[in-house]
Amino acid sequence: MALLRDRDFRLLFAGQGVSRLGDGLFTATVAWLAWSLTNRPGAVALVTVAAYAPTFLATLIGASYADRYDRVKLMIATDLVRAAVVALAPALLAMGELSLTLLVAVVALLSLIGAPFAPARNALVPQIAPAERLLEANGLLQVAFRAAFFVGPLLLAPLSAVASLQLILALDVATFLASAATLAAIRARPSVGAEEPVGLRADLAAGVAALRAEPEVLVVITTFILALLVASGFLTVGVVALVGEGLGAGGGDYGLLLGIAGVAEVLGALVVARLPLRNLAPTAVLAWALLGAFRFPLGLAETPIVAAVLLAMTGFASALTDIPLIALVQQRIPDRHLAKALGLWEAGIAGALAVAPFVAAATIAQVGVRSAFMLSGAALIALAVAAAIVVARVGAGPSLRHATARSTRSAPPVRSAASTGRPARSRPRTAR
């Protein structure tokens, strides 16, 4: 694709793909470490909560800094500090000093330090890619992110066979350094900051006002978070129960089903990157109805093959839920508030991922795994339809405002060189 021929976008694509590969490998390694240290499932759950809870609490504050300061420098600093923290784990493990308490503390600290990274990264995209190519840019980046994160856990088994856990953790340190190096080489257009320096509270208040001025964006973000709360737990807890109880299969089948869903997500992101989507808000919310339509019959699957087909379709549809959302936020929210808007989304994701497994487990315990999947699918469809109705009602006002703004920008006042006393020059390229 043309964007991959752009040096700066290619650096972002490659560097963040490597970073996500490290994230996937680290997630699997930490879960296995927690199990190895205790042989208790509760320890794995504790580490999972430690990975998401600080992100949920700190993302908005971190995103405010990403809007007020240089995003690239902030991301580089975040990568370097996280590399230093992860580097402690191999040393502690080698000395036999790594306990569950220390592991949880390291994971929580990494989550806290990394809180501003994802909002800053997504807000950086409009500083690199042209405004008319944002959907394609986000689609390509999601291809890299999903593929790399999917491959990361798969590397744990072969790496464990030939290397120690200390070396595997050191490899994750290297991915942080690779990300920092590629970011340092990027020449991004300057972001549009506030005219005067503002404090954290005033900046957050201004960000809330910017979101309230774009009700479509707020509806799409809220829908995504609620849908994730309803849906994501069933991809972990639900699929495990389905494989074990409903299909009478084993761990190999469970891993295969998750792998198929992951590959389908990558292919879906690749397809979405090529689609000329116009109505981003309705597309983003109605995609959850499509996902729910395939989730609904999943509980009725009698064979792993049928379950694999349905999971592949849900994975493919999931690409339509987030790529249009990111592009919509990047188009609608002013650059000086962009990271905060994306930070709200990221914080919501972290909160939903922390709670969703408990929602899925409680639902399965009450109605059984098959009925639980049907309820999940029906809830997604109902939520998507309700959100689409709200989007249709609130969309006319913003659409008219944006059309007026575009028509105003398309006809700037023309002044001749003679009238200004300066030589004529071309209009500078803006950050958006």
Res. 415 pLDDT band, cuts 50 70 90? very low
**pLDDT, tens only, 192-201:** 655 566 788 8
pLDDT at residue 418, rounded to an integer: 35
> Do 1-186 and 203-407 share a fold?
yes
Residue from 290, 297, 298 nearest 316 by CA: 290
pLDDT at residue 256, rounded to an integer: 73
How large is the average pLDDT for residues 317-334?
Answer: 92
Q: Residue 122: pLDDT above 60?
A: yes
pLDDT at residue 427, rounded to an integer: 32
pLDDT at residue 190, rounded to an integer: 80
How large is the average pLDDT for residues 49-63?
Answer: 87
> What is the CB neighbour count within 10 angstroms for residue 426?
5
**pLDDT, tens only, 179-221:** 999 999 999 888 765 556 678 889 989 999 999 999 999 999 9
For residue 80, give Cα distances in angstroms to 107, 175, 182, 184: 16, 10, 13, 12
pLDDT at residue 351, rounded to an integer: 86
Res. 255 pLDDT band, cuts 50 70 90? low
DSSP assignment string, 127-181: GTS-GGGHHHHHHHHHHHHHHHHHHHHHHHHHHHHHS-HHHHHHHHHHHHHHHHH
How large is the average pLDDT for residues 112-133?
Answer: 91
Tell me the C-alpha distance between 102 and 80, whole Å: 20
Q: Residue 416: pLDDT above 60?
A: no
Contact residues for 411 (Cβ-Cβ < 8 A; gap 6+): none
Q: Exposed, middle or buried: residue 398 (CB in 10 Å: 0-12, 13-18, 19+)?
A: middle
Domain ranges of the chain: 1-186, 203-407
DSSP assignment string, 368-420: -HHHHHHHHHHHHHHHHHHHHHHHHHHHHHHHHHHHHHHHHHTSPPP--HHHH
**pLDDT, tens only, 258-302:** 778 888 888 988 898 888 888 999 999 999 999 999 989 988 888
pLDDT at residue 417, rounded to an integer: 37
pLDDT at residue 411, rounded to an integer: 41
Pick the CATH number of 1-186 from 3.30.70.520, 1.20.1250.20, 2.130.10.10, 3.40.50.300: 1.20.1250.20
How large is the average pLDDT for residues 404-426?
Answer: 39
Q: 204-222: b or e for each residue (b if 16 or more CB lie within 10 Å)?
A: bebbbebbeebbbbbbbbb
Res. 422 pLDDT band, cuts 50 70 90? very low
Tell me the C-alpha distance between 38 and 6, whole Å: 48
pLDDT at residue 419, rounded to an integer: 36
How large is the average pLDDT for residues 40-48?
Answer: 77
**pLDDT, tens only, 396-413:** 554 445 544 444 434 444
Res. 156 pLDDT band, cuts 50 70 90? confident
pLDDT at residue 117, rounded to an integer: 93
Q: Residue 331: pLDDT above 50?
A: yes
**pLDDT, tens only, 160-185:** 788 888 888 899 999 999 999 999 99
pLDDT at residue 193, rounded to an integer: 56
pLDDT at residue 357, rounded to an integer: 80
How large is the average pLDDT for residues 227-235?
Answer: 86
pLDDT at residue 221, rounded to an integer: 96
Q: Residue 77: pLDDT above 90?
A: yes
Residue from 423, 426, 427 nearest 409 by CA: 427
For residue 417, give Cα distances in angstroms to 69, 281, 425: 36, 43, 9
pLDDT at residue 145, rounded to an integer: 85
Question: What's the CATH class of domain 203-407?
Answer: mainly alpha
